[in-house]
Every structure is written in structure tokens, then in C-alpha cells.
Amino acid sequence: MKQRIKALLGISVLVLFSAVLAARVSRAPKISAQGAVKPKTQTVQFPSGKETVDAFLATPDSSGRHPGIIVIHEWWGLNDWVKEETVKLAEQGYVALAVDLYRGKVAADSNEAHELYRGLPQDRGVQDLLAAFDYLGARADVNKDRIGSIGWCMGGGFSIQLAVHQPHLAACVVNYGALPTGPNDIQQINAPVLGNFGGKDRGITPADVQAFEKSMRSMGKRIDVKIYPDAGHAFENPNNKDGYRPEDAQDAWTRTINFFSHTLR
């Protein structure tokens, strides 16, 4: 009889232990195949003037305040690749906010992308990004004094325009985006700027980049640019099958992460 009771108690303890272990596993954060905790993602909204803007938000799965980064899409719109880059930034410990400047539209081909790009007034785009800066700054999980921006192509141009119009921006990354040429605009830039450009880019030429760098340095601004001699426009995007340069893209990403680490931490 005593042996039977001991056996039943042993089974009960094992069942209880299994239940507790299962509960702990169910409450544990999701782990990726690489062993890293995946960021939380969601769609958020915030006001911009009289309109409401949608954005894709990725946040680190950790408590406390984090630096924030405004992510600005190419002329294709807020597509999956931009969202992937946003998640990658959150994996580095940033609250990353990818703003939908096209109000939900994503281009399927270059003709549609051109139409969407031409249909976006620059002042409205800048206003949306300023509103995104305010949104991040008001979040409890963001250090409002450590907010930066990054963009590619059209988004790169908007990234530097945000630096022109938002004096409290703490860091600005421009990936082959149009650069300001007016001295008054350049004078307004307070944020340190990192630029990654293609030496074979026929839109944003090396001469354009060098002229901008020279103007920035003459005004005592902080700037670090790199021109990849064998790369053309959009060389960081793997969807650009003819122009993607994986080694250059990886180098540009490493430069970006190191830059944000020094400016936003």
C-alpha cells in the first residue's frame, strides 16, 4: 500500500512539474532559428496635419527606453523589403518606425513607382516624417533625444530633408538619395550624416556627393560618405537583380550599424 502511495505521489509530482514547465515555455519570448529574440511588430497610426499616417513599427523585446529610428522607403513604397530592414534595426535594439508615405499604395513596376513618386508632394512627405519624429519622441519606450533616420533612394533624400527640417534629429543615414545643394538648407543640418552611394549611379553622381560633402565640411558639419566604385543606384536592395551588390550592401549595413551605435547610444 505504501509503495502504491509513493508511486502515485511520484506521478503527481511529475505531472505538476510538466505543467509548470509547459506554462513557462508558453510564456517565453519567441526565439528565431538563429537563437535571437524576434522584435515585436505592429501597424500604428499617428496624426500628420489633418491626415492620419500608417506606419510599420518594430520594437525590441526588452524593457526600458531605446533609441528610435525613422525608416523611409524607396519609391516603391512600404514593401516587404523595407519592413525586413526595419525588423533588422529593431534586432539591434532600436525602436524602428517605417512610415508609409504613399498611404497604403505599393508599386508593382517602375512605371507605377514613378507615378507614386511624382504624386507625393515633398512638403507633405517632410510633414509626415516630422510627425513620425514627434510620435516616436512621445513613446514611453523611446529616448526622445536619440532619434535618427535612414532611407534609400527617394527615402534617402527624405532622410536628409528631415535633418534639414528637424534640428533635434540625432543621426541621419542617406543611401543613394538626392542631396540638398542650397547653402541655407545645408546650414540647417545639425545631425551627423552617413552616406552610402554608388560610383556608377547616374542619378546621384559621385560629383553630387563630393560637392555635398565639401559644403558640409566647410560649414563644420559632421559627415562620413563612401562611394562604392562598382555599384550603381539601389545596390543595397536584393530585389534589384541587375544592380544588387551583396558585398557592398553588407559593408554599407555594417557602416550604418556602427554609425547608429556611435550616434544614438
Catalytically annotated residue among 233, 248, 251, 262: 233
Say if residues 236 and 204 touch (Cβ distance below 8 Å): no
In eight-state DSSP terms, residue 31 is B
Burial of 236 (0-12, 13-18, 19+ CB in 10 A): buried
Beta bridge partners of 40: 59
Phi-psi region of 220 (alpha: psi -120 to 50; beta: other; left: phi over 0): left
C-alpha cell at 203: 542619378
Helix residue ranges per DSSP H, 188-245: 206-218
The CA distance from 155 to 225, in Å, is 17
CA distances from 55 to 52, 98, 131, 200, 249 (A): 10, 5, 11, 32, 25
Tell me if residue 201 is catalytic: yes
C-alpha cell at 222: 559632421
Tell me if residue 128 is catalytic: no
Catalytically annotated residue among 66, 100, 128, 153: 153
Tell me if residue 165 is catalytic: no
Catalytically annotated residue among 100, 128, 201, 248: 201
| Percentage helix, strand, coil for the chain under 3-state DSSP, each rounded to 5 | 45, 25, 35
Taking residue 54's Cβ as centre, other Cβ atoms within 10 Å add up to 15
**Residues ≥6 apart with Cβ < 8 Å to 96:** 39, 57, 58, 59, 68, 69, 71, 86, 87, 89, 90
Catalytic positions, written as ranges: 153, 201, 233
